[in-house]
């Protein structure tokens, strides 16, 4: 009798597993480079709970826009701004009414070395450094915000000859963390570790730059796809929100 019950249990488990396999799907997602760490955590939880697989590519919002317009197979976009998703909707490359703000980013002036960046950002006006890294402002909203801050402080002309331009915010972080640039502007989420920031930093007051509203959108290639729809829904859920906030992002 026990053997029979065990066999039935195994059969049911097998059938359930097969059912999950039948319904499991894959979703291709383009993600703003600053959101790399949070989405890796969110994707892992999403895959565990749904059985769907998430395939991610990381980069600048500007480059993703060009790739999507050229036919890249992305189904969901997590941009570092709100303009790129809106433009894709207007150009019929994304699903109308699917756009929403998943995070509001925070900008930080950071150095991997202690004692370099003061808590008011005065180091920018002094210009006592050889190199400062920012993401390309034409492609990356965090780079555009960095330029806005420096111009607002009257420090841009002093700093301009020292700027090391990175392709995206991840590369900017790499330049600073390896010492190729003594300091630079990155996303708070990149440097916040267990509630602390190593090295020295200045979290830029939000009134010094246009809010970095990071919006998600369902792309045309994801329209009607169960995995893509499930992921968009999951991003709005409590688990995702908790993870996003743990990396220092604000929410609308």
Q: Do 118 and 195 share a structural domain? A: yes
Number of domains in the chain: 2
Q: Do 59 and 180 share a structural domain? A: no
Query: pLDDT, tens digit, for every residue of 43-92?
Result: 999 999 999 999 999 999 999 999 999 999 999 999 999 999 999 999 99
Distance CA 31, CA 78 (A): 5
State yes or no: pLDDT of 132 exceeds 50. Answer: yes
Q: Do 236 and 146 share a structural domain? A: no
Q: Do 141 and 127 share a structural domain? A: yes
| CA torsion, ordered 143, 145, 150, 156, to nearest 10 deg | 50
For residue 252, tell me if it sits in a domain.
Answer: no
Q: Do 217 and 100 share a structural domain? A: yes
CATH of the domain at 97: 3.40.190.10
Query: pLDDT, tens digit, for every residue of 93-120?
Result: 999 999 999 999 999 999 999 999 999 9
For residue 230, tell me if it sits in a domain.
Answer: yes
Average pLDDT, the chain: 91
Say whether pTM exceeds 0.85. Answer: no
Supply the range of the domain harboring residue 23. Answer: 2-104+213-246
Q: Do 111 and 197 share a structural domain? A: yes
Predicted pLDDT of residue 188: 96
For residue 251, tell me if it sits in a domain.
Answer: no
Per-residue confidence at 20, pLDDT binned at 50, 70, 90? very low
């Amino acid at each position: 009798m026990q053997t029979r019950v065990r066999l039935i249990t195994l059969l049911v488990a097998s059938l359930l597993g097969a059912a999950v396999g039948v319904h499991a799907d894959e979703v291709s997602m383009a993600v703003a480079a600053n959101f790399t760490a949070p989405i890796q955590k969110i994707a892992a939880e999403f895959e565990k709970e749904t059985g769907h697989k998430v395939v991610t590519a990381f980069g600048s919002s500007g480059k993703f826009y060009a790739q999507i317009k050229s036919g890249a197979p992305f189904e969901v976009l997590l941009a570092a701004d709100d303009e790129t998703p809106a433009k894709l909707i207007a150009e019929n490359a994304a699903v109308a009414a699917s756009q929403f703000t998943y995070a509001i980013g925070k900008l930080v002036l950071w150095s991997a070395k202690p004692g370099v960046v003061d808590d008011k950002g005065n180091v920018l006006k002094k210009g006592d450094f050889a190199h400062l890294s920012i993401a390309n402002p034409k492609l990356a909203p965090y780079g555009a915000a960095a330029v806005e801050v420096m111009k607002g402080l009257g420090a841009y002309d002093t700093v301009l000859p020292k700027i090391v331009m990175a392709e995206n915010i991840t590369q900017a972080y790499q330049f600073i963390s390896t010492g190729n640039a003594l300091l630079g502007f990155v996303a708070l989420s990149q440097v916040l570790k267990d509630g602390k920031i190593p090295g020295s930093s200045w979290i830029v007051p939000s009134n010094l730059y246009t809010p970095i509203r990071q919006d998600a959108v369902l792309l045309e290639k994801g329209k009607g796809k169960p995995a893509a729809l499930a992921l968009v829904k999951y991003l709005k859920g409590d688990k995702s929100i908790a993870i996003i906030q743990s990396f220092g992002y604000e929410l609308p």
